[in-house]
Chains A and B, each alone.
Chain A
């Protein structure tokens, strides 16, 4: 197992030694970097192909359907069929659209998502760039996506897309705040912004020591990735497809890829930050990493098949009036807990207890408020009164 764990690293090492023998250091360095980039792209795109299938299959199963089952065994190559279909479509730029921005926008959405992959530790030592500001970098790249979404929806010169642009600004910017609070708690507890150090610092996964932060992060990143129940930007029952309404062909494919890449990033970052990343007994690290990620992906898809979409004003209320105060409370709590206790297990325990207390309090307040505003109606629901 130890051997499997480091096998990818050993191969990389071997390639490097071979290269060093035949060329100067800078050449070898460059070639290794290129190999890493290609590997990263492969690791980034492969889940997209897998998730296309997984999403359809999960949705279909939840809905008592078979899902894709014609293209290949169990419909496994449906993603390729999709790709061929999309690539053969005409690439249309609407006459009234701002053509330069319109053409650039899909790239602006896809590229930052790919860039975040650089700081994701896929296994022990398997990270493309162990930045000491890794988390900050990931959040910053997430913010660039907002720009891409905005320019795509605004430049289309379609009114549905314009509504989507308003929504994107309100939603994506709002949800970065609670997300930052959740991330700060992680950074405080682990004492580092580097993703690798954060994974190493999790003697107890942060999802256990601070479930609140994990919850806030997961919900905010769902909103950031524009997933149900926060899929406001392309809510098909209201604004048809929102930001990607006017896109076709390869440009649409880039949105498509970016969407699935975002799911993967939500899963990968949640795994790294809260589920202990590649750590786990027996199996090689990278197996653990992908296993945990797949679990998170499943939860994302599960939510999608079962929940209705939330309304925009409730969405913003939820961020500012609920998640942000919770995030702040959690941050203070984590700061105190990890300062008081030097033993990581003790600190995790303290933090967990505090988290549960906050969750109970918040839940209590929420129930009280909900009761006050809806008591009449809720009673009617529960008792089945007219």
Chain B
């Protein structure tokens, strides 16, 4: 009897292995902040992942209800701290919609320039950190960081702050560009273009890199749409959805640019998507710099800001995707209700489906290629 059982067990060729669950985070070098995943591992293969979020919850939505609209701007800066300018832009858009505030021409151009610079800054960090998670000891990341510092110099010149700019206002921007800013931006962008070429030559065709990213963490377009994923992660699956085209805001109709897409939706495609978008952003900035009009940068009527009762939703194509602010006003200086459509939270929702069956090492780079910021997710 026992013999036949043994034979059956052998024929089955199934070795019973025990899976272990690992607490991946919240303090972990590659979780981009305080993200926690309870990972079930069978050897090196990921069997299950349970993402846990909320470690960076600051209650920004509730805090905003106690503050005037101007006071909220520093708060939204701290949402996704990698791209503060676009957060401000989206928030201002919502407020301007509700208050029917006109924005001067020059301010719109400056906003576009700042938003696209932010997009470049966010994408270059995404790429750099992805390499770090691949195990290339900091070198590509520091190369990327250096470029980010240069871009931050530009922000600092304009707004006075490197990270939390507090630069845009409902009705324009707080200050005009200083003298020589445009020339300096041009110089910096030329430098950045060289950097992109250099980085792609050095890195993208690395054999280990190709082996580790191609066909890893495939995101099917249907799943991406169903999960509400947007931004480069969505476009890398082949869906050409970009709010700058789909729901044009600001003055994006005036610029010539393409919406690059990839077709496979794997980690490698997301990586290439970032590069393609950075090049498009560069082209938009060049166009905007060339056509930058003269004039005021702030609509004086918006100085005493009091919004009528009502509601408005403003959303823009932030570097991470569709970022929206929903404001309900009851006529008081503070919003009655303030809601953030967090891009990163929605982009993270497909993580579980993407990583199951992949290796532990892939989990890290798939998460990295989604390019989320925990501050935006937990809010």
Contacts and interface: CB of A to CB of B under 8 A. Distances in A.
A237 B131 CA distance: 10
A381 B271 CA distance: 12
A231 B136 CA distance: 11
B260 A166 contact: no
A386 B206 contact: no
A93 interface: no
Interface in A267-312: 304-312
A309 B143 contact: no
A235 B44 contact: no
A230 to B, nearest CB: 10
Instruction: Give the interface centre of A166, A228, A306 by most chain B CB atoms within 10 Å.
Output: A306
A85 interface: no
Contacts of B261: 386
Contact of A235 (B135, B143, B209, B215): B135
B160 interface: no
Interface string A62-88: 111100000000000000000000000
B126 to A, nearest CB: 15
A4 B183 CA distance: 62
A238 B360 contact: yes
A238 B361 contact: yes
Interface string A225-236: 000110100011
Interface in B245-277: 260-264, 268, 276
Contact of A229 (B135, B204, B205, B276): B135
Contacts of B131: 308
Interface stretch (A155-163, A257-265, A338-346): A155-163
B45 to A, nearest CB: 9
Contact of A64 (B21, B22, B146): B146
A314 interface: yes
B132 interface: yes
B195 to A, nearest CB: 12
Contacts of A159: 20-23
Given A160-B22, A163-B22, A236 B29 contact: yes
B361 A240 contact: no
Contact of B361 (A228, A305, A309, A374): A309
A379 interface: no
Instruction: Give the interface centre of B139, B205, B209 by most chain A CB atoms within 10 Å.
Output: B139
Contacts of A166: 43-44
Given A64-B142, A386-B263, A312 B44 contact: yes
B49 interface: no
A305 B208 CA distance: 14
User: Interface extent on A, as a size class?
Assistant: 35 or more
A308 B28 CA distance: 19
Nearest to B368: A237
Interface in B138-152: 138-139, 142-143, 146
A307 B136 contact: yes
B360 A305 contact: no
A5 to B, nearest CB: 38
Contacts of B135: 228-229, 231, 235, 237, 308-309
A62 B139 contact: yes
A90 to B, nearest CB: 20
B364 interface: yes
Nearest to B359: A311
Contacts of A358: none
A297 to B, nearest CB: 16
A304 B142 CA distance: 15
Interface string A141-180: 0000000000000000001101100110000000000000
Q: Which 9 A-B pairs have the closest CB atoms?
A: A309-B135, A308-B134, A308-B136, A63-B142, A237-B30, A237-B133, A159-B22, A305-B139, A308-B135
Interface of B: 20-23, 28-30, 41, 43-44, 131-139, 142-143, 146, 204-206, 208-212, 214-215, 260-264, 268, 276, 359-364
5 contacts: A159-B21, A237-B135, A308-B136, A309-B136, A312-B44
Given A65-B142, A310-B212, 17 more contacts: A163-B44, A228-B137, A231-B135, A237-B132, A237-B135, A306-B136, A307-B206, A310-B211, A311-B361, A312-B44, A312-B359, A313-B359, A314-B208, A314-B212, A374-B210, A377-B264, A386-B276
